[in-house]
Amino acid sequence: MSANVKIISPIDGSVYAERPIAGDAAIDAAISAARAAMPQWKATPVAERGRYMLAFLDALSAMNDDITTELAWQMGRPVRYGGEKGGAEERIRAVVAMAEEALKPYFPPEKEGFRRYIAREPLGIVLVIAPWNYPYLTSINTIVPALLAGNAVILKHAAQTLLVGERFAEAFKRAGLPKGLFHNLVMSHEQTEKLIGSGRVDHINFTGSVAGGRAIERAAAGTFASLGLELGGKDPAYVRADAKLDHAIENLVDGTFYNSGQCCCGIERIYVDAAVYDDFVEGFADLTRKYVVGNPLDQSTTLGPMARSTFADTVRAQVAEARRKGATALINMNVDGDKSGSPYLAPEVLVDVNHQMEVMREESFGPVVGIMKVRDDDEAITLMNDSPYGLTASIWTRDMERAAELGSRIETGTVFMNRCDYLDPYLVWTGVKDTGRGVTLSKFGFDTLTQPKSYHLRDV
């Protein structure tokens, strides 16, 4: 096992940063410090915890110019998009605002001679295993609510975005967060599995692949630690005949290709009513051709490289397989460096696709989408549900009642109407089927990070 972890930049293949893997003693010390810091943190009022989180937000925001450039070097997102500052601010402010209400005791109907209530107790140590694609936002989803709920947090960030963990640690330090409550650890997969299996952490939140989720479950077996798993996705969109077509095209193109398609809830397949299919496809393809693929440090670049060349090659293989089976590629953009073994990949739109093609069934996680013509709502819903995943689904229509009705039939965690690829912090973020289990965000996210404790007090 290598003693160091290297960030290989997708920009030019260079080693952007290198960090040593934590020793077992450092991991043990972090767990011990976290456990020791918890009693005082648990006794700290929720409002005061919230002030620390807002100070953390201020500290993180002050670093944003550097963070934006670091993200381009680490995972390829163009600097023109300014990092993840806006989403981070929205989510942190929202969960701070809802924390006191979400964490307050529940009192059942009064019973003479008794005082009865249910309090929310912190779980203990929360281990966050974060991904590289939205390395700040996905981490914030659990870290901030976990601390607000009175827990301590250990962060193990993805190797591709190691510097994110360091930014979190520095921001919490600047915010004055009491020592011991947050630790950023560089760990190998083996060390992470060992820590999970040790029984020394109380909740594990993992965002990543289905295979990774299964490995987490195996490692946690017998520990009784709770799990939150956000795994694969193949999010669909359905454009009805009554959709506002220009709005649907603009938002679905962005939802498909933003972040080079490396979005958990990005659009990967689109079903369009036959009545508007031709106009939709023409408009979608025209707008896609406007993307500028290139170095993410260049302000003119709107589509940077994928985080790793292997990810790009997976998408290339899906496109090639679809074309062998009869799909038609509409874009065929010539891009410097777009070849096997390169992370630079042009966006592609496929038509004449079907569900025998991997591109319509398996997660792509890249800048490609298949568009299918459908006869009616029933066919669209059947195809949307023909997937092992279920994170989000979007319906594009002017009929809100019909959207809600159709949404009740879709096997998914979130139903959107006339928008996509967005997390509302006041709504629960969850998935069904192989997308995983567990909840983040909203008041329900606090339930997964706390343990209910009953008080049954009798007056004699």
Q: Give the Cβ contact number of residue 257 at 10 Å.
A: 24
Query: Exposed, middle or buried: residue 326 (CB in 10 Å: 0-12, 13-18, 19+)?
Result: exposed
Nearest-CA neighbor of 152 among 121, 183, 129?
A: 183
Out of 70, 230, 348, 363, which one is annotated catalytic? 230
Let me know if 84 is a catalytic residue.
Answer: no
AA identity, residue 91 = R
Angstrom distance (rounded) from CA 83 to CA 64: 7
State how far the Cα of 380 lies from the Cα of 270, in Å rounded to an integer.
Answer: 9
Q: What is the 3-state secondary structure (H, E, C) of 290-333?
A: CCCECCCCCCCCCECCCCCHHHHHHHHHHHHHHHHCCCEECCCC
CA quadruple 293, 298, 304, 306: dihedral, nearest 10: 130
Q: Are strands 203-207 and 182-184 parallel, antiparallel or unpaired?
A: unpaired
From the candidates 263, 264, 265, 420, give the one annotated as an active-site residue. Answer: 264
Give just the sign of the alpha carbon dihedral 262, 435, 134, 246: positive
Cα 193 to Cα 123, 126, 216, 220, 426: the distances in Å are 20, 14, 7, 8, 32
In the annotation, is 230 catalytic?
A: yes
Residues identified as active-site: 230, 264
